[in-house]
Amino acid sequence: MLSRHPLLRTTLCVLLLLVVTCGLVFAAFAQIKYRWNWEGFRKNEMLFFQGWLTTLGICAGAMVICLVGGFTLMLGSRAPWEPVRLASKGYIAIVRATPLLVQLLIGYYVVANALKIHDSIVVGMLLLGLFEAAYLAEIFRGALESIGRSQREAASAVGFSTMQTYRYVLVPQAVRRALPGTTGELVSLVKNSSLLSVLGIEEVTQITRLINSRSYTALEGFIPLALAYLAVTLPLSWAARRLERRFAYET
Amino acid sequence: MKLEARGVVKAYGIHRALDGATFQTESDARVVTLLGPSGGGKSTLLRVLGCLLVPEAGQVLMDGTQLPNNEVGALRERRKNGFVFQGYNLFPHLTALENVALPLRAVHGVSAAQAEARAREMLDRLGLIGHEMKHPAELSGGQQQRAAIARALAPKPRLLLLDEPTSALDPVMTGEVLDVIRELAENGQQIVLATHEISFARKVADWVVFLAQGQVQESSTAEDFFTRPQTALAQQYLEGLAKYR
């Protein structure tokens, strides 16, 4: 019966896996004889929710920054003018080769201070966006360079200028090829936003730590925290897969 | 039209695809065919004649006017031409209709409605009625090549350049595409065709340019070339191709 209802079968499989996973998690907690105390967390639910909204806002802003920044860096790394090309490539290399934590601390306490920007949320959003932009630039570059020479030649043959070639031929095809990698980076961005807690920004991770210490509990808050991140990252991946299917013109 | 090349050089790295190609057609050649062994420079010469490539040295003249040797001038010039390639080179993310209509709008300044009407007319003429909304991957090789010809012809090009348009097709599809090209030739379209289809070239060509090793070995009327080839290379080439036909 199940073989004739693929949707039902998939749903059952997912539910089963979910139950097994939850069972394993709670078994682990039981093994260490963890004593649950949800009272403190429940009292601070609203605070947690506010933190989650802050995280959402920071991530949305950082996503825009990293998409625009990534595209700009990609263009920069292909620019005909050498200083621009070297600067873009150097930025990408250094940002990708150093830990985000170090970038956040130096960016916030040194650079932002020197520039007299004191809004920690804005600084955090910028630093996170600029960090992911370096990765996206490489994903975009790979996607663009994977488009064959024959497509460039065809674009040139129908009379497109360089700008038109990018606009009508290269970018639309590159978007599809860049989608899977870009989704991965955006999901990373959401998770990496938890590091902003070191700047004292009251995003959801920082709030969770606050709640845990305020109610003298050790780990309770981290389970809702994991779920709060999943509530963003899973729909993001799902939406991206739907988008990929919409762009699937080659099969 | 009259095509003329004087000492044209085009190199890819250290390889000289054209190494001083020189020829001159009669003044009213309509269908010029480029023949010769693979790697001999046919495709490169075709691209230079159509202003898709700018040569490193030498001059190309069309009806006595020199073609530009800079990228800006070449773009202006190649917008007057239509190209068809061996691998079709349609835009895979666009429907057959958009493949034809987009260049009309973006390059030739045709209004959206007129571009669509013209695109439908061209696809219809090339036997692609009912396939307008399909993407290239949903079309057969022959259909893709006919869509590519529709795209090349839609802006009413002065010159249609075809680079081995049937080399990637099976015999049936080759027949379909050659029929289209012959009809175009008979209706007066000016054509430059690089091909290995000797018997087809014999039927449609007015003028033959025979290339090998990046140089023009022979340039003569089709009649003369096929009945009295002058060079040993051309004789060997024709004999080799005639062996199994």
CA of B156 vs chain A CAs: smallest distance (Å): 12
Q: B85 in a domain, yes or no? A: no
- Residues B54 and B35 both lie in one domain: yes
Give the pLDDT score at B172: 86
Query: Lowest-confidence range among A32-36, A59-63, A64-68, A229-233?
Result: A32-36
- Residues B63 and B166 both lie in one domain: yes
pLDDT bin (cut points 50, 70, 90) of residue A40 is confident
Nearest chain B residue to A155 by CA distance is B91
Cα-based torsion angle of the residue sequence A144, A146, A149, A150 in order, rounded to the nearest 10 degrees: -100
Give the pLDDT score at B241: 82
Q: A81 in a domain, yes or no? A: yes
- Per the prediction, chain B carries an average pLDDT of 92
Cβ-Cβ contacts under 8 Å for B24 (sequence gap 6 or more): B2, B3, B4, B5, B219
pLDDT bin (cut points 50, 70, 90) of residue A250 is low
* B75 touching chain A per CB within 8 A: yes
Q: B87 in a domain, yes or no? A: no
Q: Which residues of A touch B151 (CB under 8 A)?
A: 158
Q: B86 in a domain, yes or no? A: no
Mean pLDDT for B152-171 is 92
The helix or strand, by DSSP H or E, that contains position B223, with its residue range, turns out to be helix B222-227
Q: How many domains does chain B have?
A: 2
Domain of B208, in residue numbers: 3-80+158-242
Q: How many domains does chain A have?
A: 1
pLDDT bin (cut points 50, 70, 90) of residue A186 is very high
Q: Is B44 helix (H, G, I), strand (E, B) or coil?
A: helix
Mutate to test the interface with A, among B47, B72, B83 (most CBs of A within 10 A): B83
Q: B129 in a domain, yes or no? A: yes
Q: A5 in a domain, yes or no? A: no
CATH value at residue B32: 3.40.50.300
CATH value at residue A124: 1.10.3720.10
**pLDDT tens readout for residues A96-153:** 999 999 999 999 999 999 999 889 999 999 999 999 999 999 999 999 999 989 999 9
Q: Beta strands B57-62 and B65-66: pairing type? A: antiparallel
Give the burial class of A207: count Cβ atoms within 10 A of its Cβ; 0-12 exposed, 13-18 middle, 19 or more buried: buried
Mean pLDDT for A13-42 is 89
Picking from B138, B157, B176, the residue at the C-terminal end of a domain is B157
Ranges assigned E (strand) in B56-106: 57-62, 65-66, 81-84
pLDDT over 90 at A6, yes or no: no
Domain of A90, in residue numbers: 52-246
* Whole-angstrom distance, CA of residue A10 vs CA of residue A96: 38
- Residues B103 and B72 both lie in one domain: no
Give the pLDDT score at B240: 86
- Residues B63 and B172 both lie in one domain: yes
CA of A39 vs chain B CAs: smallest distance (Å): 56
- Residues B43 and B68 both lie in one domain: yes
More confident residue, B125 or B100: B100
pLDDT bin (cut points 50, 70, 90) of residue A1 is low
pLDDT over 60 at A232, yes or no: yes
- Residues B223 and B111 both lie in one domain: no
